Amino acid sequence: MTKGGIMRKKICLNMIIFLFMLLIVSSEVTAPPEPHNVKGRVFHLDSITGVQNEIPVQIKNINTSQETLTYVYAPNIPSLKGAYSATINASDNDLINVTSWNSTYYGHSTAYILPTTTEVDVVLNNLRPSETKATITSPENNSIFNISRITEITAEIEIKGGQNGINCYAMLNISNKNILDISEGESYLHYLGNANIGSILTTEWEVIGINEGVTNISLSSYCDSDGINFDKQDSDYVYDVTLADEIAPIINLTYPEQQDNLSYSQNPISFIYNVTDDSGISNCSLIINESSVKTNYTVEKGISQYFYETLDIGDYAWKVECYDNSTSKIKGSSNTYNFSVLPNLNPIISNLQTDDNIDLNHGSVKLVYCNFTVSDNDGVDDIEEINVTLYHNSVSPENEDDNNNHYTNNSCVIANSAEKSQDYVCSFSMYYYSNPGQWKCNITVNDKSKADDTAETTLNVNELTALYISESVIDYGELKAENVSEDDVNLTITNYGNKDINISLEGYAISEQDGLGMICEQSNISVEYQRYSTQFNQDYNEMVGLTSAAQQIEGFTIPQKTNDLVYEDDQTRVYWKIKIPAGARGNCTGRIKIIAIPN
């Protein structure tokens, strides 16, 4: 029998091995979308009569999910009635969906974007499912209540669409339940039952005031029979409901933060704060080092407010004081934050994220990621150089690259960029023989003034025990009964893991532990007739007999690959011979199971 497996002689012996495939996936980049014109007409159920003006038309790019809402607008001419036109960002051949609706019916059509104007007509030939319109009737936006006087929230739910509402509900939400909440025994979800088209359901929640402050109220509604939500009126909101008392304005400082270090180049420095109060705000003043610097008389509550001031290099303390416009004119003061203005600021590394418990790919490489953020208050243009090293704890970051213990990446990819920070993605192709154990990802960044920062995080690489057998067949050729194969048959084994390994050998003909080494056309060969040795050209009688049970080779090692430039430093050979017992005839085949074992 040849090595390829064609049976030509009396006795042929085969061994099963494993094959691997690598799939490479590529991606294709398309041109960005650009404005395309879409126009058409919207018709009533008869497909002839155009609808009246102000009927909504929604155009959605299926490829990009972008949506454009327009309305029918046409002169009162039968041939033009129902006409609409709009522009949407798309690429040629993008699929679009055009949907239009009136109070009872809706329709939709699809088309592919043309290089010129794309014409799409829509027929309102589908009965709209039920749809709800939610309205909070009390309280109103910016309402002010005494804590003890607010007792209920009321709402109306209108049933719209072309069908009745089945099993309808209203759900209340209060944004700040420390200020206002439902009474004991009350439920946020109210069941409203069934309702006809056009009917209006009313409901109310019993509530209780708890503390002073401002809260928002939201209402959502739905019926089990609802389908597509065309008008998107199923929710309603009431903002800034105040439960008042005589308390001082509450001021929060946003920037600079406590112990911030700012760069002189940031002048004029922004001082950002926000203030809340049961009443309005009369004025707010910026206090630096116990002196009032500026006063703002047009302050909006609840949103960021700004002061701008140019400062010299030095240490500072700042706070904000505000007076409300209540009768008592109560003053509120923020905490005091300390900060410094420096000539230049070091870049800062943060948000380190790495893979962990890494399982390497046997005989191949594994992409391992080390991601992080670099911030520089002098601006991202001040970031000059970034070096990232992935190294085993047995070496240092300064060592030369070695696939066993040290990798370097000086060309990390910028994933996101802002004015003063950038997110980086760094990948390393770790070889299968990279040492197991603890590794570290070390990041060093330098700015243009040579100020730097260093950060480090740990990760673990798991042990990998694997092997590769280059030969697919042990072919002893043609032998006569009671003869011993004259030449050694070489089996080359490569360590495809990251630890020294031994191997165990187990022989069988049909099923494991069947006691046979081979099955022949006439008679069989017992497993012990097949022998092996780690020494070349050893006498058959001195070789080790194969067994049915897995047997480890004594004193045998296939080393982990440790030299990137040397070929076969991780390979070892096992030599095989066989003796043919009397009575065996014809073609013979058997199997040898080889298992890698950590050494």
pLDDT tens for 459-477 read: 999 999 999 998 889 999 9
Range list of β-strands (E), 310-462: 314-324, 331-333, 337-342, 348-354, 365-375, 383-392, 406-409, 413-417, 421-431, 437-447, 452-461
Tokens of 188: 């946020």
Q: Strand runs (DSSP E) across 162-234, as ranges?
A: 165-174, 180-182, 189-195, 200-209, 213-223
In degrees to the nearest 10, what's the CA dihedral of 225, 230, 231, 236?
Answer: 60
Report pLDDT for 245: 63
Find the largest Cα–Cα distance for the chain: 118
User: In the prediction, which pLDDT does 30 show?
Assistant: 58
**Unique residue bearing structure tokens 């650009």:** 34
How far is it, in rounded angstroms, from Cα 460 to Cα 441?
11
pTM above 0.75, yes or no: no
Residue 137's CB is within 10 A of a number of other CB atoms, namely 14
Predicted pLDDT at 315: 96
Regions of the chain with pLDDT less than 70: 1-31, 148, 245-246, 278-279, 327
The residues that bridge with 220 in the sheet, in sequence order, are 171, 235
Q: What is the structure's pLDDT at 361?
A: 96
Q: Is 436 helix (H, G, I), strand (E, B) or coil?
A: coil
pLDDT tens-digit readout, 202-244: 999 999 988 778 999 999 999 999 999 999 999 999 999 988 7
Burial (CB count <10 Å: 0-12, 13-18, 19+), residue 434:
buried
**Cα four-point dihedral sign 373, 377, 379, 384:** negative
Q: 188-205: per-residue pLDDT in tens?
A: 999 999 999 999 999 999
To 5 degrees, how large is the angle CA 302–CA 305–CA 308? Answer: 170
For residue 22, what pLDDT is reported?
Answer: 31
